[in-house]
Structure 1
Amino acid sequence: MYDLETRKRALALVSHGRSLNSVSKQTGISRAAIRQWQVRIEPISRTTECSRPDDLAAYSYLLGLYLGDGCLSRQPRGGYVLRIACADAWPGLIAACRDAILRVRPTNSVCLVRKQGCVMVTSSSRHWPCLFPQHGPGRKHHRRIVLEPWQQAIVDAHPWEFIRGLIHSDGCRITNWTTRMVGGERKRYEYPRYFFTNKSDDIRKLFTDTLAKVGVEWSVLARGSDPFNVSVARRASVALMDAHVGPKY
């Protein structure tokens, strides 16, 4: 039997890139035991080197996708699978998601797993939890979602990529219409607007805080008593969104 600290020390060696065989030889602990601990014990904090993506702009976009429609799943033999759900209706989004993952982790492979009505863009790596420390048990809107300082610095440097990722996951660009009486005749007017819908108060605030930093005005539209919808409807703000985000395709 090994105490918790011994288990964590062994897992720390694995998290730093050591093989199970080398950790077993160094510690005298069997590889089978270390594999079991990887399943039972959440990964401890990883190194700063592990916590930095290769392409910061691509990471900012991928972070938005992850917060909207992404999740991490532990593999039985260690490591994690990143899954981003992308609707079949948006092949351009699927391609952009795949490209972002490859730019963030160039050595990783990316697979497309087809489900009913969507494609799961997936990639395996033991480093995903340090790149997405918001990972945790349960749904995102049931737990606190806060960016690490290094993540916030990336979002501050690449705000439009972050906004685009959130819109591409849980947002849309639509055309509304209304009618007005002009010269005794009722005329129809159409105008575009953006919506972002997410149940997490924290994720919506990350979205609206970033909008404010780039000069986009927004408002909240509640469904009943639930303020899940963020709307961007003012002409100048829609024009900014069109220039940097645009509709999904």
Structure 2
Amino acid sequence: MALGSGYPALLGYYLGDGHISRAARYHALRVSCDATYPGIVADVQHLITAVRPHCRVFLVEAPGVVVVQAHWQHWPCLFPQHGPGRKHERPIVLEPWQEEAVCQAPGDFLRGLLHSDGARVRNWATRRVAGELKRYDYPRWQFSNRSEDILGLCCWALDLAGVAWRRSGPSTVSVSTRAGVARLDELVGPKT
């Protein structure tokens, strides 16, 4: 299947904060974005037009959110994970052609996931050194999702990108090593 270069990132956004709904003559792809990140809204708009050139993209604003929306009858073909119910209540498995697209651009896929359901935060810990309590402050990337399948896809993509990760909670994957955070900063970029 020939896809635009933005597909892996758009897949990540879809798995994080996207859904597809049926209308009379088309399907609507909707990706909900935090209104405080206009750069992410612009990224999703760009990715939709990279995957489907010349399509009209709509922005629907509500308090605290901007929904990026595009209509097309073939969105379910590009996102076969679409189905009834919530994503964490049904299996989410990539098709072989989707796996191939992610393998070619794991950083783009991670950008979509982390800019939708992730955060770059500052973590801190205290340690006693030579009898004195010292505080250490360091950056960390975290990805949270209630779907075990989507968490697994995030971990798989992190492995493809050579980024060390760990499960820091039942619904959270963390990247805390200096090298891992630097690599994700390079691949994903800041949330703007």
> TM class by shorter-chain length?
over 0.9
In the alignment, the residues of structure 1 paired with residue 91 and residue 25 of structure 2 have an alpha-carbon distance, to the nearest angstrom, of: 25
In the alignment, the residues of structure 1 paired with residue 98 and residue 130 of structure 2 have an alpha-carbon distance, to the nearest angstrom, of: 54
Greater relative contact order, per chain length (Cα 8 Å cut-off, separation 6+): 2
Q: After the TM superposition, which residues 211-226 of structure 1 pair with which residues of structure 2 at under 5 Å, given as runs?
A: 211-222=158-169
- Do structure 1's residue 91 and structure 2's residue 29 form an aligned pair? no
Structure ranking higher in strand proportion: 2
- Do structure 1's residue 63 and structure 2's residue 11 form an aligned pair? yes
Which aligned segments of 4 or more residues in structure 1 are displaced greater than 3 angstroms? Answer: 180-187
Asked if the contact 1:173/1:246 (under 8 Å) is kept, the reply is no
1:178 pairs, out of 121, 125, 130, with: 125
Task: Give the equivalent residue in structure 2 for 1:137.
Answer: 84
SS at 1:151 equivalent: helix
Alignment deviations for residues 67-107 of structure 1 (CA, whole Å, 9 cap, x no partner): 000000101x2210000000011111011111111111112
Question: Unaligned stretches of 5+ in structure 2?
Answer: none
- Do structure 1's residue 107 and structure 2's residue 54 form an aligned pair? yes
What is the Cα deviation at residue 236 of structure 1?
A: 1.2
**Residue type matched to 1:146 in 2?**
V
| Number of residue-to-residue matches in the alignment | 192
Task: Give the equivalent residue in structure 2 for 1:74.
Answer: 22
In the alignment, the residues of structure 2 paired with residue 74 and residue 62 of structure 1 have an alpha-carbon distance, to the nearest angstrom, of: 19
Alignment deviations for residues 96-142 of structure 1 (CA, whole Å, 9 cap, x no partner): 11111111111210010001211000000011111111110000111
What is the Cα deviation at residue 188 of structure 1?
A: 2.8
Asked if the contact 1:134/1:146 (under 8 Å) is kept, the reply is yes
Question: Unaligned stretches of 5+ in structure 1?
Answer: 1-50
1:232 pairs, out of 170, 175, 183, with: 175
Alignment deviations for residues 150-201 of structure 1 (CA, whole Å, 9 cap, x no partner): 1111000011000111001100100112233445543332100010001111
User: How much identity, in percent, do the aligned residues show?
Assistant: 51
Asked if the contact 1:108/1:123 (under 8 Å) is kept, the reply is yes
Asked if the contact 1:71/1:84 (under 8 Å) is kept, the reply is yes
What is the Cα deviation at residue 235 of structure 1?
A: 1.4
Asked if the contact 1:177/1:189 (under 8 Å) is kept, the reply is yes
SS at 1:166 equivalent: helix
Q: Say what the alpha-carbon RMSD is for the aligned residues.
A: 1.3
